[in-house]
Structure 1
Amino acid sequence: MNLQCVNCGHDIGKLFVQYSPGNIRLMKCENCNAVADPYIECEFMILLIDLILHKTKAYRHLLYNMFSLEVNNIKGMMWKFNLAYIFLDAYMISVLRTSKDDWDSSGSLLLPVLTCLKVLIDVLLGNFIAVSVVLVGTKVLLTSTFNIMRYKEILLALLISSYFKLFLIATMVWEFPSSVFFIIDVFVLSSNAVALRVMTRLRTSRCVAVCFAAHSAKFLVTDFLMPLFSISF
């Protein structure tokens, strides 16, 4: 992925010129004649606020100028994101499905182990279904420009834009109503849609439709089909 102007999305060779340590000059975009990436000189909190506000500029900076497939150790970072999100998804499902009394009332150690295994399977299957729906939907909409590199770019965008799941850590410390999990999931969906729009340049409505279909498929598998399957056996 090439570096991009966060204002218009035009490719740019370099974002700044460094004259000495701490002395840089930001480059201007040849297309829109604005500073290509002002976030370089901004504090991280400003970037985080703009990400929460779903500003396209912030997502372009994050996905093209801050993280890219060419960054060193990007595979290790993606694995870390994957493991963290799997753990947080498993935690959310276990809280929503299993009450504390269910764990304490059982005299057998086998039941908690089986419950944890079932939750892990649900999380892995649900996330696989969601990612598959996004990739298939994007491939259908980008038939002529979709290749294996696009798969990797979209996977990276989905992982990074799912950062709202990290707010689940707060629910481990303080007590929140179960509606908080739904709110976080909605923010993850909308963030995924913005990231998908930045990566593919598709219309917002199409990106929202693809991400909504992916999250709906995940919900159908983890919260409806899998519980019915376990009851039948």
Structure 2
Amino acid sequence: MEHRCVECGFRVKQLFVQYSPGNIRLMKCENCKSVADEYIECEFMIILIDLILHKPKVYRHLLYNVLHQETVHIEGVLWKSTFCFLVLDAYRSLLLKRNEEEWGSSVSFSSLVWICKEMFMDVVVGNFIFLCIFLLSARVFLNTFFGVSRCKDILFAILVSSYFKIFLIAMMVWEFPSSVIFIIDLFVLSSNIVALKVTTDSPMNRCIATCFCAHAAKLLASKVPNLRSLDY
């Protein structure tokens, strides 16, 4: 994953030239003649706002120019992102079950074991299905086969672009209806679509189909245990 121009996605050799500490000159892209990465001089809040607005150029800045293999230990970031993703997914599952079952002040040990089992099924099985359907959908809709290295880069982009799950932490402090969880899920879906388009340069409609199939399969997988419990 080389450095890229945030405007057109063209490969660039360097983003800036540093003459002295605090004195830099931003380089221009040879393709579009624009500043290759204007976000280098931007504050974090501006970058965060553009991420929320789903601007493709800020995703290029983050995925290609910040989380770069030469400057960041990509394997460590990948494992940490996966761990945070699974923890937030487990907390999402816990919030949904709490809203559905209205737990009392005390929970029996058997109920606690059952809750942990349900969370494990939702997180592990759900994300395994998500991964399989995502790779299958990418093969069908994007009409390409990714190698191991390329597949790792795309999955890393999906993990990083799922940052909207962090807003679930706010539910530790304030009470929100369960509909807020599904609104966050929609933001995660839309963010994944933009990240997939940026990393693959594929048409938007194909990226939408790929991510939608994966998220729909994961949602249906989480509903299967609830349907079984209704049968009993």
Task: Please name the residue that 1:22 is paired with.
Answer: 22
Going from structure 1 to structure 2, the CA distance change for 1:126 and 1:91 (only over 3 Å counts) comes to same
- Note if 1:102 corresponds to 2:103: yes
- The amino acid that maps onto 2:214 is A
Matches of 1:103 and 1:128, distance apart in 2: 32
Task: Please name the residue that 1:49 is paired with.
Answer: 49
Q: Percent identity?
A: 54
Matches of 2:71 and 2:214, distance apart in 1: 28
Task: Please name the residue that 1:162 is paired with.
Answer: 162
Which stretches in structure 2 are left out of the alignment for 5+ residues?
none
Matches of 2:136 and 2:35, distance apart in 1: 36
Per the alignment, in what secondary structure is the counterpart of residue 182 of structure 1?
helix
Matches of 1:90 and 1:69, distance apart in 2: 29
Matches of 1:105 and 1:24, distance apart in 2: 60
Asked if 2 retains the 8 angstrom alpha-carbon contact of 1:158 and 1:195, the reply is yes
Task: Please name the residue that 1:181 is paired with.
Answer: 181
Residues 128-207 of structure 1: pairs in structure 2 closer than 5 A: 128-143=128-143, 146-207=146-207
Per the alignment, in what secondary structure is the counterpart of residue 187 of structure 1?
helix
Tell me by how many angstroms 1:27 deviates. Answer: 0.4
Matches of 1:194 and 1:44, distance apart in 2: 20
- The amino acid that maps onto 1:123 is V
Task: Please name the residue that 2:78 is paired with.
Answer: 78
Matches of 1:7 and 1:196, distance apart in 2: 16
The alignment yields a C-alpha RMSD, in angstroms, of 1.9
Task: Please name the residue that 1:123 is paired with.
Answer: 123
Matches of 1:144 and 1:207, distance apart in 2: 12
Tell me by how many angstroms 1:84 deviates. Answer: 1.7
Show structure 1 runs of 4+ deviating over 6 A: none
Per the alignment, in what secondary structure is the counterpart of residue 98 of structure 1?
helix
Please identify, of 188-197 and 122-131, the stretch whose mean Cα deviation from structure 2 is larger.
122-131
Task: Please name the residue that 1:210 is paired with.
Answer: 210
Tell me by how many angstroms 1:147 deviates. Answer: 1.4
- The amino acid that maps onto 1:185 is D
Task: Please name the residue that 2:225 is paired with.
Answer: 226
Tell me by how many angstroms 1:140 deviates. Answer: 3.2
Tell me by how many angstroms 1:109 deviates. Answer: 1.5
TM-score of the superposition, structure 2-length normalised? 0.92
- The amino acid that maps onto 1:109 is F
Which stretches in structure 1 are left out of the alignment for 5+ residues?
none
Going from structure 1 to structure 2, the CA distance change for 1:95 and 1:5 (only over 3 Å counts) comes to same
Task: Please name the residue that 1:38 is paired with.
Answer: 38
Matches of 1:51 and 1:44, distance apart in 2: 10
Asked if 2 retains the 8 angstrom alpha-carbon contact of 1:69 and 1:153, the reply is no
